[in-house]
Amino acid sequence: MTEAHSVKRQARGRQRIADILDAALALFAQNGYEGTSTNAIAARAGISPGSLYQFFPNKEAIAEALSARLLEQMRAAHSSAFDLAQVTDLTLHELIDRMVDPLIAFNLANPGAKALMANTDLPARLQGAARPLQQAVVDRVAAIIGARSPRLPAAERNLAAMVAVRIVVAMMPPIVTAQGAERNALIAELKKALHGYVLPIEAH
């Protein structure tokens, strides 16, 4: 009985948190972090301002949790696409497809994500919170590059991963904004840029 209670309660709690993060994601995407009030988040989440603070101690914590959630979702989206072992069997074109496509799909599904990925929005104090999101992707890309080019020094590998991710992130806003053929053209261009950058690196 008590257990049933607590199970239901926890489920409701998780749902509340999800609602809050959904609301925050939408509002951050629209108005930025500073432009979004906690009361607005609460209202969009369908709860009272007081309730919001039962789940998050302050506004920053919402941004942090949102970052973490996006990170997790992105990791999931990514790792399901292919595993490190097979990475050496792919052509560079195939590799880029498998890496970029899920990222684009993720950003299309989470239009607010860019607000946190391109972390220029948040106050300096908070940018650390969004860092892991990008960094996680960078690490994964570095691992893939390492698997394919084992002789590449670690420093160069990490640098290349960072640059590649920055290129992807930089192209994300127009890709998300565009529609249909235009979007496809942008995606093709992004892939060309990655190919042109990575090909010489893989060739030593």
Question: Contact residues for its own copies (CB under 8 A)?
Answer: 30-32, 34-35, 114-115, 118-124, 159-160, 162-163, 166-167, 169-171, 173-174, 185-186, 189-190, 192-193, 195-200
Q: Which 50-109 positions form the footprint of DNA (CB under 7 A)? A: 50-55, 57-60
Is residue 32 a contact point for DNA (CB under 7 A)? no
Q: Which does 78 bind (CB under 5 to 8 A by kind): DNA, its own copies, none?
A: none
The helix, strand and coil proportions of the chain, stated in percent and rounded to the nearest 5, come to 85, 0, 15
Residue 76 has a CB neighbour count (10 Å cut-off) of 12
- The answer to whether residues 108 and 176 touch, using CB atoms and an 8 Å cutoff, is yes
Taking the least distance from each CB to DNA, the nearer of 49 and 128 is 49
Which of residues 37, 79, 135, 177 is near DNA by CB under 7 A? 37
Which of residues 9, 14, 93, 192 is near DNA by CB under 7 A? 9
Residue 100 has a CB neighbour count (10 Å cut-off) of 18
Residue 153 has a CB neighbour count (10 Å cut-off) of 9
Write down the H helix ranges in 32-151. 38-45, 49-55, 59-79, 92-109, 113-117, 124-148
Q: Which does 161 bind (CB under 5 to 8 A by kind): DNA, its own copies, none?
A: none
Size of the site for DNA (CB under 7 A): 26
Residue with token string 């599904």: 109
